[in-house]
Structures are given as C-alpha cells and as structure tokens.
Structure 1
Amino acid sequence: MGGVSYDLVIVANRLPVDRVELADGTKGWRTSPGGLVTAIEPVMRANHGVWIGWPGGTDPELEPFESDGMELAPMSMSAQDIEEFYEGFSNGTLWPLYHDLVAKPEFHREWWDSYVRVNERFAEKAASLAAEGATVWVHDYQLQLVPQMLRTLRPDLRIGFYLHIPFPPAELFQQLPWRRQILEGLLGADLVGFQLPGAAQNFVRLVRQRVGHKTHRDLVYLPDGRTVRAAPFPISIDAAGFEEMARSDAVRFRSAEIREALGRPRKVFLGVDRLDYTKGIYARLRAFAELMGEGHIDVEDAVFIQVAVPSREQVEQYRIL
C-alpha cells in the first residue's frame, strides 16, 4: 500500500478489527464490537477505499494491511493517549455530556490537550492517503477536530462528518470549556450528519449563537464563502444481508438448538448491546422482572437473553456496570 492514494478514506477512532492474542499465543484480528462498524463496513466494501483507525492496545504503528477484502491503515496509541484522549476526554468528558449527563462529565485541560494531539495525527494520516479531490468521511465524537485540521492540510478534499451519538442542546453543550473549538472543528466538513433532526438543529443553533455565522435552515454560511450543511441521516444496518443470513439453513438450525436449550419458551426477549450505561440494560432487567411480577408473562413461558460485549473496562462507570 506504500504510496497508494484512495478516492474514499474512512476515518474512525477504531478499525473494524481489533488486535487480539490468539489461543496459540500469536497476534490476530477479530471484528470490533459496536454499531459504527456494523453500519459502515458494508459501505466500505461497496466502494474501494481505506479505513484509518486504532486497532486497540499499545502496539507501535503497524503497517497498512488488507483484512477480509478491506484496506486498513492502523493508528498507534500510547498508554497516555489511551488514558487521556480515549478513556479521558472522549469517554469521560464528551460521552456523558452528549448523553444528557447520564453520568457526570469531567473536564481536564490535560485530557483536552491529548484530544487535540490525537486528532492532529488522524488528520495528517488522512491527508497522506487521500487522492486529489477524494472524499474523506470522518466518524464520531472522538474525532470532531479532524474536519477543520484536514481542510487546512488538504483544501481539495470533500469532507463529511457523521456523529453516531446524540448532539446535546445548548444548555448542556455550553458546559464544555472547549465548545467553540469543537464547533469550528466540525465546520471543516462540507456535510455534518446526525442521527436525528433535533441534533442537527441543536448544532446549527449553537453555531449561530456561539460562533456567530449566518445560518438558514440546515445551512451554515462561512466567511470564506463555503457553505456547510447539517442534516439528519438515520443510520441503519445492511438489513438485506441480515435477512438473507436469517433465512439460511445453518442459522435456522442453530436458532432451533438455542430455543431447545432454553426450555422451548414461547417468548424470547433479546438484547444485543455493548455493556454501556447508556443502553438501558439495567432498566430492561427491571422491566422484565416487573412484567413477571405482575403476571403478564410467566417464568415457564418466557426468557430474556442479553448479549453484552464488555467495553471501556478502564472507565470507572463501566467497571461499576
């Protein structure tokens, strides 16, 4: 891949695969958990491009490689980056702030400085791999400064940004000491995407109030003549692919085996989530208990299965959960 440039560059905090130790002691690759990978991987496969991201761990920078038909460019992280950028600013500051203060966000200048440094490295990597006039698609709350940094390095690029989590109203967002820098970082993109209309409206309103740019509906007019569009794009999975898999003989056979092993219940409640305090897993368990307690369902007749992938085990709130 040396010297190769790409017309499509995906930039996300994580690669679609994690670096893991296999049973025989060697290092291998495993699909990363979470909705971002599930949503973006089919797009990546349909358009030949490169995916820039962190493979987990503190391995020194690995060479670009191909995995399961995808070109991947790994980014390294030091123990300090993981502590301050990833566990700190991304998951200790932004994540709870953007999720309606479901946990208390912490604000530390060292964490912010690390966030800026890591965003710069991601922007430089994208600039080095993008062809002339390429489309670069930046993802999620960990990399909100990348669009503006990339715009400065490569004004020729078409840049999109998509936020995979809620975007908060002004009352919450203005608690962030670096609110203006985040807004200006996102305005480096030509198109800023959100999951819901309310989030896009929150963003445009904040840009008007906090940065002072003119706006009209979903457009922001910048002094340099550029126009940025902020709009909702409800995210999905490859529904047709999942349906095809569900109809396969192997899956039907396995589902019958699972139902048999569970005692042939008539009702199966299923949750599949990262083990995260924003996913409502605890509330779900309580709701299931109340349905049983009130006699709406019977223990002989119903079972609740929760598939939960542990994540962010170093962050205190996740350890508690």
Structure 2
Amino acid sequence: MPRLVVISNRVAVPKARGVAGAQGGLAGALNAALKANGGIWFGWSGQECDEFSGSINYVKSSDGVTTATIDLEHQDIEEYYNGYANSTLWPLLHYRIDLTQYEREFGKGYERVNERFADSVLPLIDKGDVVWVHDYHLMPLGERLRSMGVDNRMGFFLHTPWPPTNLFVSLPYHERLVKALLHYDLLGFQCDTWLDSFLHYCWKELGAEVDYETGEITLDGRTTLARAYPIGIDYEFFIAKGNTGEARQAGQRLLSSTRHRTAMIGVDRLDYSKGLPERLDGISRFFDRHPDRVRDLVFIQIAPPSREDIGSYQKIRETLEQKAGQINGARSDVDVVPVRYVNKGYPQEELFGFYRAAKIALVTPLRDGMNLVAKEYIAAQDPDDPGVLILSRFAGAAQQLDCDGQGALLINPHSSDDIAHNIRLALDMPLEERKARYEKLIVSVREENVQRWTENFISDLAEDAA
C-alpha cells in the first residue's frame, strides 16, 4: 500500500483515545492506518498565533505515526472555524438554514485558511502518496492542491449530512464549493441518503453527467467517484473499556442511584442538531400521559458543552436547563427527580458502564451524519438482558440499525407523541423481544466497525495509485 497522508481540521494524537464519546475510535483507526502505511497526519494545532508563519510542529508518537500541525491567527479562527465552518456550513449541512449565517468575511477566511493548509502541507506530500481529507472544514483543499501540481490520488470524507438541493442552493457560491469537491478522486458519505442528495445536486445544478448506479460524476472532462461508507465504532477497543473497574463502578453508581427505577440515557454533544429540546418535550409528554410512571423511569441526559463562543450554542444550553427544570418542578417529589441533566463529559470507561446500566437509550438527533452513540450503546449491552435503542430516523445510523423493523425503534424526533409512545413501548418491552432486537443490532455494530470503514475507503482510494 502507498503511504497515507491524512488531513483534517484538528489532529487527534494517540493520547486522545481516552476522551469521551466515539472520537477515540476514529482516532485509533486512523492512527492504525497511518502506522500500517507509514503515514502522516496534518491539521490545525488548536493553538492561536499572533501572525501566521506556516511553520510546522512535528510530533512522532511511540507507534511511529507522525503528526504535523500549524497554528492559526485569531482572525483565521473567527472567520474560518467559528464563522464559515460552524456558523455557515454546519447549520446548513444539518438543514438549519434558519441558523445559517451568510457573511462575506466568513467565506474569505475559509478560503484563506484552506490556502494556508495547502501551502503548508504541500512539502509533506510525496509522489505516490494517497491523500485523505476529512470533513466540511476543508472542502476546497483538494482543488487548491491540484492547482499546485498535486496529481496524487486524493479522497474526501464528509462526516455530516448533505442537505437536499433546494436547501444547499441557499449558500452563496454553492457551485464553486461543489466544483472544488469534484477535484477529489473519491468522495465518501455516511449513508445513501446523503450520497443521493449530493448526486442530485451535481446533476441538477452543475449539469454533470451522473451515474446513480456507480456513483460516477463527470464534469468538464474529469470523473469523480462518490460512494457511501458508513462509519462504525472501534468495537474491540470499546468492549475492552467495558472490562475495566471504572466501567463496572460507573454502572453500579448509576444503578444504585436510580432506586429500582428504569434508567433511560442520552449522551450528546451540546448542539442544536441533536434534538435535545425536542427530546425533553417528548419525555414531558410521556409523563403527562402516564403520571403514575414517574416512579418507574429516570432520564439521564449527558451533554458536554460545545462551541461555547457561538451564540446559538449558548441559547440551547439555556433552553435545556429551563425545560429540565420545568419537568422536574412539575413531577419531582422529595425522593424522586425524573430528569438529570449533566453538562459535562465522561471517559469511555464510565460511558460504557452508564450505557450498560441504562435499559433505554434515546438517540434522537434532528439530523446527524451517522451517530456513533447509538452503536456504542448497543455494543455495551448485556446479551442476556439488553436495553432498547430509540433512534431518530434522520440519523445516518438508522439505515443500518433499523434491521427491517426488527432493530432500533425508529422515531420522528420532531414529534413529542412519537417519542412518548416509543418510550412506553421500550419500557414495557418483554425480554424475549429485547434480546431478538439486540441480536440483530449487534451483528451490524460488531462487523461494520471503524476498521472496516477505514480499510474500505483507503482500498478504493488507493486502487489506481502508483
């Protein structure tokens, strides 16, 4: 296999494998691929500098993977990261045009930082290397590298959804951004829904020749291949976390605190795309319909803060605190609090214990590229007494975890009635049905893991590499 060069907004060093959520699995898989291919991982250091110099910070890990990072100026961070990436592209890609900010300076900053990435990484790319670029921060990077003479095989993977054409065209200069994407040889999407939306855009707005069967897009004499590559978790790595004392203690801690009530859990980064206010509305509706069951169920929402410098994220935190307080104010007793809202993150060992102790998981994003919490929850279950996954049909994971109606309970996250109804179904589901659903789900989670995702994408990308 040729050497691999991974480029992303931020670089995950090996020590980051212990952080909460699924990031550790992705970082671990990419590090393993880089190690196997003698590669390098390039991105922003997360640090701010007074004046951009382009100087590269190198770190070589104990397993031989080299990371290379650059620092960015304050203006770069405000316009490229907080601005265009997270205040323009992120909401638009998640169908939230009501929150999308169209600021000319944001676009200029985005273009400038992509130029700086290209200038800085260019000397690190050797002839024959395979280049893999990640996510919406760096859509134009491939075009910039092509203009600098890079003719290596280059691939791009989008970790978010891709919206329908009639939404995406609201973005100024949308044609230019998509044409830049078509300079990559391979484009990867999380599921067929996002892939189909992208193919439709290329056909309708660019007039490209699109083969929906093969995913080939031909425009101006150049052909790009677009395919779905559903990302998974690092199954063996996550299971190993569950065999630790920390995981067992966390599970016992949660169980002992519930006082024989069924624990229902949600674990989400604090983001408006995750449907957290709507989720609490659904829980409130459930308790309105079944007030006697307030002693049967306790909901634990873990929501680590995210992008706190952006106003829309500050607002959602306030909204959640208000809604959780309203439910608890109406339903609490001296010995019962129905909703626990925890505004911090936990290591994967503890999350594994919480997942196993919870008999219901609510994973209800309004829109999500994939959602690995759903897969982590299934992986953590006791095969002899598994819990029930309630999953938004608008998460990329729904395509895999529906299991022909015999896996997760799929819901419309905008419907309080639907959420409430499925909470009751999950709460009353007999053991035999829970086990049957789990047995279908665990096959997908175990086999469609992050290693297979990495191998499939790199194999397709390197197919014609020198």
The TM-score, its normalising length taken from structure 2, stands at 0.60
- Contact kept in structure 1, 2:80 and 2:109, CA below 8 Å: yes
| 2:26 is aligned with 1:39 | yes
In the alignment, structure 2 segments of 5+ residues that lack a partner are 317-466
Q: Aligned residue for 2:43?
A: 53
Aligned 1:148-297 pairs, distance under 5 A: 148-217=143-212, 218-224=215-221, 226-260=222-256, 262-295=257-290
The TM-score, its normalising length taken from structure 1, stands at 0.85
The residue type paired with residue 213 of structure 1 is: A
- Contact kept in structure 2, 1:312 and 1:318, CA below 8 Å: yes
The residue type paired with residue 277 of structure 1 is: Y
The residue type paired with residue 240 of structure 1 is: E
Q: Which structure's relative contact order is higher, taking Cα pairs within 8 Å and 6+ residues apart?
A: 2
Q: Aligned residue for 1:104?
A: 99
Deviation for aligned residue 1:288:
2.3
Q: Aligned residue for 2:57?
A: 63
1:116 and 1:307 map into 2 onto residues whose CA distance is 36
2:24 and 2:183 map into 1 onto residues whose CA distance is 24
In the alignment, structure 1 segments of 5+ residues that lack a partner are 1-5, 19-27
SS at structure 1 position matched to 2:120: helix
Deviation for aligned residue 1:244:
2.7
> In the superposition, relative to structure 1, how do residues 295 and 41 fare at CA in structure 2: closer, same or farther (>3 Å)?
same
Aligned 1:105-144 pairs, distance under 5 A: 105-144=100-139
SS at structure 1 position matched to 2:84: helix
> In the superposition, relative to structure 1, how do residues 17 and 156 fare at CA in structure 2: closer, same or farther (>3 Å)?
same
State the aligned residue count.
Answer: 305
Percent identical residues: 35
* RMSD (Å) for aligned C-alpha atoms: 2.7
**Of 229-238 and 245-254, the range deviating more from structure 2:** 245-254
The residue type paired with residue 129 of structure 1 is: L
Higher fraction of helix? 2
SS at structure 2 position matched to 1:234: coil
1:30 and 1:229 map into 2 onto residues whose CA distance is 32
- Contact kept in structure 2, 1:62 and 1:74, CA below 8 Å: yes
> In the superposition, relative to structure 1, how do residues 185 and 164 fare at CA in structure 2: closer, same or farther (>3 Å)?
same
1:283 and 1:289 map into 2 onto residues whose CA distance is 10
Q: Aligned residue for 1:312?
A: 307
SS at structure 1 position matched to 2:268: strand
> How big is each residue's C-alpha offset from its partner over 1:164-192, in whole Å with a ceiling of 9 and x where there is no partner?
11111110111111111111111111110
The residue type paired with residue 51 of structure 1 is: W
Higher fraction of strand? 1
| 2:74 is aligned with 1:79 | yes
